[in-house]
Structure 1
Amino acid sequence: MNKFYLIVFLLVFSLKTKAQQSSGISDNKVIIGKSLFGNETKRDFSRKGDFYIHWGYNHSWYGKSDIHFNGPGYDFTLHDVQANDRQSKLSWKYLDIGQISIPQYNFRVGYFIKDNYSISIGWDHMKYVMDIPQRVAITGYIDKEISNPGIPTGEYAGTYNGEMLDVKADMLTFEHTDGFNYANVEIERYDDIWVAPSRKTSLTLETGLGAGLIVPRTDVRLFGTGQNNYFNVAGYGVSVKAGLKFYVTRGLYFQNTTKLGTTNLTNIHTTGRNSIDKANQKINYVENFFAVGYQF
C-alpha cells in the first residue's frame, strides 16, 4: 500500500513538472477566484494548474442501520443496528512509516482546474464495528441449520415478525475494520476567508461533493462461521464536505474537514461462502478528519 502512495506522488510530481516545462512564456495576469467573503487582501498568485496531496486521520460516527442476511435456510434482517468506529490509541503507529496505514486515515491527491475549483481522488479508510451484544428488532426466518455445509443455529432458529432479540457473539460479530473504505472522486470549491499581508499565509473554506465505491474488508462470524474476508467492491456512496485549510506558506497547509455521507452496500461478504451467503446494508455517517498537505 505504501508503494502505491509513492507511485501516485511521483506521477503527480512528473505531471506538474511537465506542465511547467510546456507552458512556455506565461501570461503575467493573475486571475483570482472571487471569494464569498470578499476579503480585501488577495493572493498574488493563482492556484490554477497546481496539484495538492495530503494525509490525515479521521474519526467517524454512524447512524443506525438495517442489516439483511440471506442464504440457504435463512433470510432475516436486524433493524436499527448500532455501530461505532475503532480508533487506534495514540502511539508511534501514527508516525511509523511501516504502520502509518493502521489507524483510520485519509489520503487524497487533487488538481486545480481553476483558481478556486479542484478535482481530486481519495481513499477514506474508516472502520465500522457493530456493537455486541445489543438488543434489536428482527424480521424473517432462520432454520435450525443454514448455509452449505450446514451451520447449526441453536436457540436462534425460528420465524420473526419484529420481536426484540439479544444479539450475542455466538450469533453474530460484524465489522468493516480493514476497513470501511470509500474510494472516491470529489470536486471542491475554495473561498478565502482571510489572507495575510504577505499574501502567502491564508485561511480558506473548502466545500465539496463526492461519489465513489465502498471497498470494505469485512470480518464476520455468523453462528460461529466466517472469516476476515478479502477486499471487495460491496457498493457505492455519495458525500458532501466542508472544512478549513490553513496555509502556513503557499504550499504547506493544515486541514480540518467534516464529511456527511450515505452508502449502499449490496454485496457484503459474510461466512466466506460468497456464492451463497451474503448481506446488505445502508450506512449513513459523519466523518471528521485532520490532515497535513502540500500544494505545488
Structure 2
Amino acid sequence: MRIFYILLFFLSAAASAYGQENLTLSTDSKKGKLYFYWGWNTAQYSSSDIEFKGEDHNFVLKNVKSHDHDLRWKVSEHLNPGRLTIPQFNFRVGYFLNDHWDISIGTDHMKYVVNDLQTVKISGYIEGTGTVYDGVYDNDDIVIDQESFLEFEHTDGLNYVNVGLRRNDKLASLTSFADLNLLVGVNAGVLIPKTNSDLLNKGKNDEFHLAGYGVGATGGLNLTLFKVFFIQTELKSGYINLPSIITTPVDTDRGKQDFLFSQWNVVFGGYINLNKKHKAKNKR
C-alpha cells in the first residue's frame, strides 16, 4: 500500500499549501465550465477477510492478498476505440460551480484479482459438496487453488461509480499557453462489480451487481494547454465495502469483504465553456 501512504502525505501537503498566502490564484474564470476526461489507472489493495455463505458452506478466508490486472501498456489495448473498456480506466465529467470548486461524476474501472496458490487461514465449514474441502475449520491453513477451490476476481471489473467534490488552484503559468494546477477532493459512490468467481467448481455467475459502496480522497496535478485541453495525474485512495458479492450461480450464495484501495491515474481531457456571459465578454 505504498501509494496509499504517498497519497496521504500528498493531501496533507496540499492542505498546508492552501493556507499559504503566496499561493497563486487563477485569474482565468472556470465558473460555468464543463470538463471531461478519460485515462488509465494502476491499483493496489490491502489484504482482506472474505466471507462466503451458502446452503452448503459458511466460512471466512483471512488476510487474503490480491493484485490488479497485470496488463502492460499496449497500443492495441489502450488506444483501440473498440477495446476502450478492456484496460483499467477512469472516466469523469464535471462542472465548475465557481473558479475553484467543481462537482463531478465518474467511473473508476479497477480490476481485483485474488493471488493464486497463497496460503491463508480459514474458519467455518463446508459440507455436502462432495469435494476434499468438506469439513469444519478453526483457523486452519488452506491453499487458495483456483483450479479446485476458489477463483475470485472483480475483473470486469471493480467498478466504482462515484460523485466527487474537488478544489482547484493554479500553481503557476509555465508558458503563455500552459498552466500548472493543483487539485484535491473527496468522493463517494457505489460499487457495481462483475465478479468472476468460481467456488468449489460450482460455476460462474458473471453478472453486474450492486455489491456495496466506497469513499475516497484524491490529489493531483493538472497541466492545462491553451485553456482547452489538459493532462492530469492523480493519486486516489479510499475504502471499499462489499457486503453482497455474487459468488456462484446459486442465488443464495453470497460473499462479503472490505478493503483499502489506492490508484495512480493518468488522464487526458478538455473543457467546454457553458458560461454565456463569459463568452460574450471575451468577444468584446
TM bin, normalised by shorter chain, reads 0.7 to 0.9
Aligned partners of 1:262, 1:288: CA distance in 2, in Å?
15
- CA gap of 1:256–1:197, structure 2 versus 1, over 3 A, is closer
Aligned to 1:211: 188
Q: Determine the C-alpha separation between the residues in 2 that align with 1:212 and 1:36.
A: 29
Find the counterpart in structure 2 of residue 174 from structure 1.
152
1:80 paired residue number: 63
Give, in whole Å, the separation in 2 of the partners of 1:130 and 1:187.
32
Q: Which has the larger radius of gyration?
A: 1
Structure 1 counterpart of 2:42, one-letter code: H
Contact 2:204 2:248 in 1 (8 A): yes
Q: Tell me how far apart the structure 1 counterparts of residues 111 and 161 of structure 2 sit (CA, whole Å).
A: 14
Gaps of 5+ in 2: 1-16, 273-284
Map Cα deviations across residues 198-218 of structure 1 (whole Å, 9 max, x no partner). 3x4211111010000000000
For structure 1, the 5+ residue unaligned runs are 1-33, 146-150
User: Residues of 1 paired with 2:196 and 2:181: CA distance?
Assistant: 39
**2:202 corresponds to:** 225
- State the match for 1:25 in structure 2: none
Aligned equivalent of 1:112, options 89, 96, 99: 96
Instruction: Provide the secondary structure at the position in 2 that maps to 1:227.
Output: coil
Q: CA deviation at 1:161?
A: 1.4
Paired position in structure 2 for 1:266: 243
RMSD over aligned Cα atoms = 1.7
- Greater RCO, 1 or 2 (C-alpha within 8 Å, sep 6+): 2
Matching residue of 1:30: none
Structure 2 match to 1:277: 253
From the superposition, tell whether residues 36 and 205 of structure 1 become closer, same or farther in structure 2 (CA, over 3 Å): farther
In the TM superposition, residue 228 of structure 1 has moved relative to its aligned partner by 4.7
AA at the equivalent of 1:210:
N
Residues 62, 41 of structure 1: CA spacing in aligned structure 2 closer, same or farther, 3 A cutoff?
closer
For 2:108 and 2:219, the matched residues in 1 are separated by 15
Supply the AA of the counterpart residue of 2:213: Y
Q: 1:46 aligns with which of 9, 15, 29?
A: 29
Mark the CA change 1:35 to 1:201 in structure 2 (over 3 Å): closer, same or farther.
farther
**Correspondence 1:187 to 2:171:** no
- Is the CA contact (8 Å cut-off) linking 2:113 and 2:153 kept in structure 1? yes
Q: Which runs of 4+ in 1 moved over 6 A?
A: none
Offset of 1:43 from its aligned partner?
A: 4.1
The one-letter code of the counterpart of 1:52 is Y
Alpha-carbon distance change, 115 to 164 in structure 1, aligned in 2, over 3 angstroms: same
1:164 CA displacement: 1.5
Aligned residue type for 1:67: I
Alignment of 1:97 onto 2:73: no
Residues 41, 88 of structure 2: 8 Å contact kept: yes
Which residue is equivalent to 1:63? Answer: 46
Query: 1:290: which partner in 2?
Result: 266
| Letter of the structure 2 residue corresponding to residue 81 of structure 1 | V
Determine if the alignment matches structure 1 residue 237 to structure 2 residue 214.
Answer: yes
C-alpha distance in 2 between matches for 1:256 and 1:280: 32
CA contact (8 A) 1:78 1:136 kept: yes
TM-score by length of 1: 0.82
Whole-Å separation in 2 of the counterparts to 1:41 and 1:171: 57
Deviation per residue, 1:270-290 (Å, 9 max, x gap): 11112x111011021111110
Residues 106 and 163, structure 2, Cα contact 8 Å, conserved in 1: yes
SS in 1 for 2:72: coil
How many residue pairs match? The answer is: 254
CA distance in 2, matches of 1:52, 1:37: 28
Whole-Å separation in 2 of the counterparts to 1:277 and 1:40 = 54
